[in-house]
Structure 1
């Protein structure tokens, strides 16, 4: 039986869609509002890597453990939203062998499965890798198609009573007696909602949404470029085994690979520069691992904005900001019925949604547990059905434009 309380989820990326799904499966009445098509902010403007956790293992053990756990869950529940390619952390002659060993040891600490490959074995896997490759570490990375993942989460939420409102931007929040009492939606919705609880899942725009309720959420977004080029001789994800830097990931698709990425501070996520040097640097650095991409035909180029939360670190190098997530209960800021879920990675969206739904249910007195870890997403075994969901919610983005029909 549905709960009589209404939760407004602001933000239709993968986290917001995941929150809407989780809450609706617990019988909560949900309205999800997104200013554009679903996933249009960050989720479908990424490089589409389903992390194994290995990228951050030596710098963030807890985050790595969360990634590998969620990686396994998504591989078992998300079906054709995932392409299970495996991944390689490649050490070239110019790379520090001690860093490679730290990576390997950290993966073991995080319970991330690995396999050591010598140079010959690596070239058997990817024949056109750089001649300077010395060894590689196999890890269970994969590729995720975010347009499908967001849409199927939204479809399951809708099937359980949620109202999904793309192209319905939040225009204002009215606060009275330490409660949000109304929310004005524009666009195709053009209506006033009287929510019992509000979840701010607006990603890089979370600070702007929070400000409507007189709250402060300090985001430190950074932009990054992705370039998809025509190339069909790479099956696993390639990661340069060095401290994370520009142009160190190659993500395979069918007949293309996505090269990523840069990290440049972005003061306004709606008005980011698109600099030629980012494209040139990314191609040059990725070609150090996989030389043929230097001259491959570029099929599309796009920029995304990382939703980094950094209340104490906004002046630092944004590559050093944690990719972990934070759940902010604004009752501590004197607005009792608002929470913000910020930071994190696409790989950990389900865990972020579960934590958020736990908090909301606690506040609303709903006694229901999370079921998303074991429940397959609708259409998971039917790519055509998934793509129908994409069309329904207008969630198609550049990350997987070559995959989604």
Structure 2
């Protein structure tokens, strides 16, 4: 099959589907290709935390500002793609109280709402919380169901003229005279596509896709484990109030909680070790905040790979790499019609998509405003409809497998 499109988006996670939706709503002919079902990469292999920005407030102000802005947007447009739980940052006796104070001050300076609770008040709010908790800070964290989010974005894109192929792996790019002239897609599509512009939204795989066009994108992927256990008594998400480390996040679902996570460098986002020590340490550390999870029944365990971008960083220092995002225009690398979007977080996917769509509109001389910050996702308040989208686009993943099952609410 031969096809042409104004914009070809490679990668069907939250960011890629956000881009195809944004461009379709602006009236641009756009096509998306994903290799293994929507959100099958990092998006649906995360812990699913809807960040308030508090986790990064004292260390990465820009990233924190992006998170709180998009946290508020998603609460208004995403409906049952998210769950409003709130979150607590937990201080144990071995945790530096100055770090807690600095985090609170940073949150306040950014505009992230906080409320400090003493240990007893925190335990009243969270039954089962450790007796060792000295104080806690409430922040507006929440939960994201990524398979619903990606599928709803894709559905809206197709409703507005876009095309989404959830099983169409990119097999090659042809560059001629400084432009990508052809992209070959396999899988269920088996097509040669002639695009005006190509957007690389493949997360941890961005370096591999860029290499197909002869471009170097320096990714520093890092794996992390998540463990879902049976536990239905947790209300808010829990974060350990210390420098980010292994086993410092607990994310509530309905009858389960997700424990995580680790950060271990990987050279290939498709092939890496899944080490038992990561599971054991994550459970052990999370149980310091919420002891009952140590004995809770394990439901499933999975690893995800963070799409960290580090052109000038020490690749071994994964925890210190910015979680902000970057739009790379490869005209600077000799390929005029090729962009990559790297870094970022699930929470900021829509803002990332808007930044890319703005850049494309400038290149195409299209005068159309972004609508995605105010326009609700289709089916936002209809979980059954959202899960029909999930089934249609084969968008399920382990993060929300307990919530979304075979197109119906679990």
Q: Taking structure 1 as the reference length, what is the TM-score of the superposition?
A: 0.98
Aligned partner of 1:171 in structure 2 is 171
Q: Deviations over 1:13-48 (max 9, x none)?
A: 000000000000000011100011010011000000
Aligned partner of 1:13 in structure 2 is 13
Map 1:191-206 to 2 at 5 A.
191-206=191-206
Instruction: Answer whether contact 1:185 1:192 (CA < 8 A) is retained.
Output: yes
Distance in 1 between residues matched to 2:316 and 2:280, nearest whole Å: 25
Distance in 1 between residues matched to 2:297 and 2:102, nearest whole Å: 36
Instruction: Answer whether contact 1:13 1:38 (CA < 8 A) is retained.
Output: yes
1:315: Cα distance to partner? 2.8
Aligned partner of 1:399 in structure 2 is 399
1:5: Cα distance to partner? 5.7
113-122 vs 311-320, which deviates more?
A: 311-320
Aligned partner of 1:183 in structure 2 is 183
State the superposition RMSD in angstroms: 0.8
Aligned partner of 1:70 in structure 2 is 70
Aligned partner of 1:311 in structure 2 is 311
Distance in 1 between residues matched to 2:44 and 2:254, nearest whole Å: 17
Distance in 1 between residues matched to 2:180 and 2:5, nearest whole Å: 13
Aligned partner of 2:124 in structure 1 is 124
Q: Deviations over 1:353-379 (max 9, x none)?
A: 000000011111111111100000000
Aligned partner of 2:331 in structure 1 is 331
Q: Deviations over 1:157-206 (max 9, x none)?
A: 01111110011011111111111111011110101000000000011000
Distance in 1 between residues matched to 2:152 and 2:280, nearest whole Å: 35
Distance in 1 between residues matched to 2:211 and 2:264, nearest whole Å: 24
Map 1:6-405 to 2 at 5 A.
6-405=6-405
Instruction: Answer whether contact 1:220 1:314 (CA < 8 A) is retained.
Output: no
Q: 4+ residue stretches of structure 1 with deviation over 6 A?
A: none
Give aligned pairs, total. Answer: 402
Q: Taking structure 2 as the reference length, what is the TM-score of the superposition?
A: 0.97
1:316: Cα distance to partner? 3.3
Distance in 2 between residues matched to 1:127 and 1:363, nearest whole Å: 54
Distance in 2 between residues matched to 1:272 and 1:379, nearest whole Å: 37
1:108: Cα distance to partner? 0.5
Distance in 1 between residues matched to 2:320 and 2:255, nearest whole Å: 33
Instruction: Answer whether contact 1:152 1:386 (CA < 8 A) is retained.
Output: yes
Distance in 2 between residues matched to 1:200 and 1:389, nearest whole Å: 24
Aligned partner of 2:408 in structure 1 is none
Distance in 2 between residues matched to 1:389 and 1:5, nearest whole Å: 24
Distance in 2 between residues matched to 1:54 and 1:202, nearest whole Å: 26
Query: Which residues of structure 1 form unaligned runs of 5+?
Result: none
